[in-house]
Amino acid sequence: MALKSFNLLSSEIMSNFYKSLLFAAFTLFFSHCTKELTTESSDEPSISVVNYPLAFFTQEIVGDSVDVYFPSIDGDPAFWQPSGQDIAKVQQSSLILLNGASYAKWVKNASLPRPKLLSTDSNYRDRLIEEHTSAHSHGEGDDHSHSKIAITTWLDPQLAKLQVTAIHEAVVLRWPEQQAAFDSNVKELNQSLSEFDATQEEVFERLKGTLFVGSHPVFQYLARRYQLQLESVHWEPDVLPTPEMWTELEELLQHHPAQVMLWEGEPLPEVVSSLEKMGIQSCVYRPCGNRPMRGDFFSVMGENLKNLQEVTMDQ
């Protein structure tokens, strides 16, 4: 009888022990999950972008309420190769904004959370420009070919406004409590883009009939928007063209006698002088794909307009 009582007591003790152990395990698990949820919800809101125009448009819309991450890049962001640390930073963002039009090829090989991705060309993919370019290099860089799809979409302000619309819709969906501020900011941004578009249209209207040559195939959307007669070569502003490149230009001029060459950056003085002898003026028109050394997107576009107006005066 005593043995039976002992066994019953032992069973009760073990049952209570397992219950206590199960309760402790459950409490630990729940505490861990709660901590993870708390950590995730306390993260500062952030948006990662792949080029400077997107960074500028996004920051203008969200103001100081959301951090916009665009890394410091030496060179063209379109051909940037991020480090593992750079990709990790992007992965942690609340939203990841892409330019679309095959821009930033690194995205295809990076493990990025798909629910966070937004391609800002979603409203105008049927208006993208497709073309073929030959292999070439940027200075001492590796040989490469530009995408078959022209990538500098924002040089058409009307497409830029569609990008702005896509950004605006995404941030309102993500942070609906701030919609009033976002709506006000996007209205001002679109107004500025419309004013710039109208002014630039007037300048190009004065240049109607002028034949252009692009120093690089990056001005396609600019040319289509303002109906420019433009063909392109593959020259770099800070590199002397080879004899073969001069020959290529001369052959192009036989069927397209250009009067103005558009440059992505300030060309070398000796190149400018040689072009002038051929009857070609040089005009700097910076696409502004990367963060400018000074000013912002609109100040760079303002400088572009000023440079175009100087060409207008000479026509």
List Cβ neighbours of 230 (8 Å cut-off, separation of 6 or more).
211, 212, 213, 214, 219, 223, 262
Residues 6+ apart with CB under 8 A from 88: none
Which residues sit opposite 281 in a β-bridge?
Answer: 260
Residue-by-residue pLDDT tens, the chain, 315 positions: 443 443 443 444 445 544 444 444 434 433 343 333 332 333 689 999 999 999 999 999 999 999 999 999 999 999 999 999 999 999 999 999 999 999 999 999 999 999 999 999 999 999 999 976 555 454 444 455 545 899 999 999 999 999 999 999 999 999 999 999 999 999 999 999 999 999 999 999 999 999 999 999 999 999 999 999 999 999 999 999 999 999 999 999 999 999 999 999 999 999 999 999 999 999 999 999 999 999 999 999 999 999 999 987 766
CATH of domain 46-190: 3.40.50.1980
pTM value is: 0.82
**8 A C-beta contact, residue 78 and residue 51:** yes
Cα(142)–Cα(223) distance, integer angstroms: 28
List the one residue out of 230, 215, 226 whose CA is nearest residue 157: 226
Amino acid 143: pLDDT? 52
| DSSP character at residue 143 | P
Q: Which two tokens stand for residue 13?
A: 């003790």
Helix (H/G/I), strand (E/B), else coil: 98? strand
Could you please report the per-residue DSSP string of 292-306? -SSS-HHHHHHHHHH
Distance CA(103)–CA(101), nearest Å, equals: 5
Decide if 46-190 and 199-314 have a common fold.
yes
CATH for 199-314 (3.40.50.720, 3.40.50.1980, 3.20.20.70, 3.90.600.10):
3.40.50.1980
Helix (H) or strand (E) holding 9: helix 2-41
| Domain chopping of the chain, boundaries | 46-190, 199-314
Per-residue confidence (pLDDT) for residue 1, from 0 to 100: 45
